[in-house]
Amino acid sequence: METLDRESFDMAFKKIQEKIKHEIQPFIDNLLSLSDEDLEDFREDYLKFYKHCDDSIEILDLFKTDFKKLDTSFKEQIFNLYLYLGMVESLGNLVLDLLVLLLVANGKDFHVESIHAPRIRHLYSLDDLQKTYVPLKMKIDFLDYYGIKTYPKIIDSKLRNDIAHFKFRVDKNKITIKGKGITDTLYDNGDTFLLATRLVLGMFGDLEEELGWEGSKVKKVEGINHKQHTDKNSDSTKK
């Protein structure tokens, strides 16, 4: 699998962008019709979300700076593996939590089964989601059921599991997962993830501005970019 050139990547992402907006925007728009009292719980969780988000973004920014110093090597492949894992575990999980809470604010019930009483536990807040172990796939399935499909699918939970559980092979300084080299896959997957995340958070930033909420640092997310897609023949791609 080859890394896409800039034009091809932009065309592919434009379709993803349209789907994300189509699936999420109606739920955001619906919040504008709710009373301040009905929105208060979501507002509190929204601000808590950004407090958690800040640390993840700062770490990813540090990773990006170090990444530019590395040559194409085995060390770089290892770095890419865990950069992707970190993105999914930090920003990915947090944004899925926010989307779950968006649906809860729209009157959708999110509940998990527990081995302790009560057996069925309804989750209403960011604290609930973070105190209760909720598998990534459960969040993705819940969002998918209510029509938010595109962003969750960008988070490759199978790839995440393969990396987290060391289900990859190393042979002659090359890392492969299920027979495929990881570098190009992680580049395009990571770029798509970060651009989609910035898009989703930007949509919530518009909601924040519309409602006059204060206290989040959504603008900071604009600094996220995994790498620049360039033409294969350009000098900027040569190490």
Per-domain residue ranges for the chain? 19-27+39-226
Determine which of 115-119, 161-165, 193-197 has the lowest per-residue pLDDT on average.
115-119
Does the pLDDT of residue 166 top 80, yes or no?
no
215 pLDDT band, cuts 50/70/90, is low
pLDDT in tens, 184-213: 677 778 888 889 999 999 999 889 888 888
pTM of the model: 0.69
Beta strand pairing status for 120-122 and 180-181? unpaired
pLDDT in tens, 1-39: 456 678 888 888 899 999 999 999 999 999 999 898 889
Return the HEC string of the chain: CCCCCHHHHHHHHHHHHHHHHHHHHHHHHHHCCCCHHHHHHHHHHHHHHHHHHHHHHHHHHHHHHHHCCCCCCHHHHHHHHHHHHHHHHHHHHHHHHHHHHHHHHCCCCCEEECCCCCCEEECCCHHHHHHCCCCHHHHHHHHHHCCCCHHHHHCCHHHHHHHHCCCCEEECCEEEECCEEHHHHHHHHHHHHHHHHHHHHHHHHHHHHHHCCCCCCHHHHHHCCCCCCCCCCCHHHCC
Does the pLDDT of residue 224 top 50, yes or no?
no
Q: Single out the residue of 48, 137, 21, 15 nearest to residue 88, CA to CA.
A: 137
pLDDT at residue number 160: 83
Does the pLDDT of residue 76 top 90, yes or no?
no
pLDDT at residue number 142: 93
What's the average model confidence in pLDDT over 155-172? Answer: 79
What's the average model confidence in pLDDT over 119-132? Answer: 80
Q: Single out the residue of 150, 198, 182, 160 nearest to residue 3, CA to CA.
A: 182
pLDDT at residue number 165: 77
What's the average model confidence in pLDDT over 232-236? Answer: 38
pLDDT in tens, 88-112: 888 899 999 999 999 999 999 998 8
Q: What is the mean pLDDT of the chain?
A: 78
236 pLDDT band, cuts 50/70/90, is very low
pLDDT at residue number 162: 81
pLDDT at residue number 191: 84
